[in-house]
Amino acid sequence: MCTENAIRPYSLCPMYPTVADVLALPVVRHGRPRVVAGAEGLDARVRWVHVAEVVDIGHLLKGGELVLTTGVALPDDPVTLTKYVDGLAGAGVAGLVVELVQHWSDALPAALVAAANRNGIPLVTLSRETRYVTVSETVNGLIVDAQVAELRAAEQVHKVFTELSVSGGDPADVLREVVRLTERPVVLETLSHEVLAYDAAGTDPGELFDGWPARSRSVHVGERTAYAPDAGWLVAVVGARGRDWGRLIIVSEEPPPHRHIVVAERAASALAVHQLVARDAESLERQAHRAVLDELLASPVPSAELLARASALGVPLAGRRLVGVAIRPRLTERKQPSVSGTAVLRDLAETMSLAARRAKVTALVAVLDELSVRMLLSLSPQANVDAVLDRLADAARQPRVVAAGTTVDSPAHARRSLLEAAQVAAAAVHGGPDLAVHRLEDVRLRGLLHLLAGDERVRTFAARELGPLLSRDAAAGTRLVQALRHYCEQGGNKSAAAAAAHTSRTAYYQQLARIEQVLGVPLEDPESVLSLYVALLAHDLGK
């Protein structure tokens, strides 16, 4: 039976003709059809045409039939007529057609009309004799054609998504095919109702995601694939091996045809296969977060669509305190990123996302480059920003550098906070105080030099100041540059510098004398020391 007034599982009707479609056929129009009751049910689908001259017919029907009768066997008794129509309604018939030729010639009994109206069953009269055999052949032929068309469409759908699975199509490819096959917007979300990917099918994404988390939480389905008419959503659960992780939602205001059900199920299967095959790749959640962060960094003013997408991910940006955060592993001997380094960042991103959830903090978390994990914290106006950052820093574990940008109150300034965090992290990773969270005020001169690190004039200055000393160390195997670094870091205190270098004072003083000789500058001169220290910092950033 085809029902269209409840959340329904897979067995939705193919695109069978409606009662209105049947009445428009020439073979039926010849009988001069007139709808006398139940006009609101004319869009009901006709699963089969059945000619019946029996009063007690309801228990023999399966539902969706359009019943044709001459009325010759029907009584005039109002009670029996009411019972007759109620039986048809209980069986779920699509409609009742009565020929006004043999039994009733002018009009149907009032009881029959009233019962049809009460049950919402289309009741149609034919004022001329009609060949019911021809009507049955014509309509049932249309129904068979519809079934064949659905089977062919389903076969094509299976072929499309099988090829996608074999070729390793990603979620964006899968959703693109869903839109192509259904011409409806489609959304992939987590079981927590956070949007992972979508294709708006040319509609307004802002409207699509308006109030998404609350709307999605209100839609519950008892089957793996079902249609929720109140929401206008066709929902398919995504997962494999007993582990469900998402829902595929096709927005469909009208009850979807059978082929759309097939599309939803096959697309959900393709997404589940992709997740199993790409187990070691970046998660769909991180991909969705990365897309939003990339657009925030690329757009001086975030669009309404972008804000809606962030909100659909469970991270509202409007009316919140926003803090950009960058987490970088400490530099090792291998400066260049590697495959293992990428895996480390990916694991770090998942760790930070979990830490944010445990701290009950909403945040966008993703790997945006080969060096760091980026976060955009979305905090309530009452939140203690320092306490949140300290907790996240504890979760990051050492050796990491955690840097935070300025706290801002508008999505338009989120980009600045994100950029500041990245700049602070890049400066702090090369040295400076060992802090749980680094901020702009902590990197100071080192931060300025980091911003200027790509300037050829800065590199030339460092080479000019330190060139002779670097050459001497390389040629003679000395450690004069390191001795100079200790001297500068200790503010010119020779005793403290010797202790930091783990060298006797006598030996260290000799190194300082050799530095003065090689460079030709007095280390007692504050300007010389400042110049050399700036050159050392610039040299370190250029490594």
Note the pLDDT tens digit of each residue in 76-90: 899 999 999 999 999
Angle between helices 440-451 and 526-541 (to 10 degrees): 80
Q: What local confidence, expressed as pLDDT, does residue 332 receive?
A: 47
Choose among 365, 345, 343, 320: nearest CA to 194.
Answer: 365
Distance CA 111, CA 356 (A): 67
Tokens of 336: 């260049």
Q: What local confidence, expressed as pLDDT, does residue 53 receive?
A: 87
Q: Does the pLDDT value for residue 115 go beyond 90?
A: yes
Q: Does the pLDDT value for residue 385 go beyond 90?
A: yes
- Please give the full DSSP string across 85-150, using - where no structure is assigned: HHHHHHHT-SEEEEESSSS-SS---HHHHHHHHHHT--EEEESS---HHHHHHHHHHHHHHHHHHH
Start-end of H helices in 195-303: 205-208, 212-217, 258-277, 284-298
Note the pLDDT tens digit of each residue in 33-82: 999 999 999 989 898 898 988 888 888 888 889 999 998 888 889 999 99
Let me know the angle formed at the C-alpha of 127 by 124 and 128, rounded to the nearest 5 degrees. 120
Mean pLDDT of 154-163: 80
Q: What local confidence, expressed as pLDDT, does residue 226 receive?
A: 93
Distance CA 250, CA 268 (A): 11
Mean pLDDT of 443-464: 75
Q: What local confidence, expressed as pLDDT, does residue 6 receive?
A: 36
Q: What local confidence, expressed as pLDDT, does residue 543 receive?
A: 60
| Phi–psi pair at 139, nearest 5 degrees | -70, -45
Decide: 5 and 12 in contact? Cβ < 8 Å: no
pLDDT classification of 257: cutoffs 50, 70, 90? confident
Please write down the long-range contacts of 150-153, taking CB distance under 8 Å and 24 or more positions apart: 150/14, 150/15, 150/257, 150/258, 150/259, 153/259, 153/262
Choose among 232, 184, 216, 260: nearest CA to 4.
Answer: 232
Q: Does the pLDDT value for residue 394 go beyond 70?
A: yes
Mean pLDDT of 390-400: 82
Is residue 201 helix, strand or coil? coil
Amino acid identity for residue 498 in this structure = A
Could you tell me the CA-to-CA distances from 70 to 77, 143, 254, 280, 372 in Å, in that order? 17, 23, 34, 69, 79
Distance CA 237, CA 225 (A): 7
Q: What local confidence, expressed as pLDDT, does residue 280 receive?
A: 53
With residue 26 as reference, give the H or E element that holds it. helix 26-29
Note the pLDDT tens digit of each residue in 271-318: 888 887 665 556 788 889 999 999 999 988 899 999 999 999 999 999
Note the pLDDT tens digit of each residue in 479-538: 999 999 899 989 889 999 999 999 999 999 999 999 999 999 999 888 888 899 888 888
Pairing of strands 243-251, 321-329: unpaired
Note the pLDDT tens digit of each residue in 163-219: 877 777 788 899 999 999 999 999 999 998 999 999 999 999 888 998 899 999 999
Decide: 113 and 142 in contact? Cβ < 8 Å: no
Q: What local confidence, expressed as pLDDT, does residue 62 receive?
A: 86
Looking at every residue in the chain, the average pLDDT score rounds to 86
CB-neighbour burial class of residue 13 (10 A; exposed 0-12, middle 13-18, buried 19+): buried
- Region of 54 (left: φ > 0; alpha: ψ -120 to 50; beta: rest) is beta
Q: What local confidence, expressed as pLDDT, does residue 222 receive?
A: 82
Tokens of 49: 């045409």
Q: What local confidence, expressed as pLDDT, does residue 431 receive?
A: 65
Note the pLDDT tens digit of each residue in 433-448: 778 898 877 766 766 6
Q: What local confidence, expressed as pLDDT, does residue 336 receive?
A: 45
Beta bridge partners of 98: 69, 125
Decide: 170 and 271 in contact? Cβ < 8 Å: no
Length of the chain, in residues: 543
Q: What local confidence, expressed as pLDDT, does residue 333 receive?
A: 40
Distance CA 67, CA 50 (A): 5
Answer with the residue of higher pLDDT: 330 or 104.
104
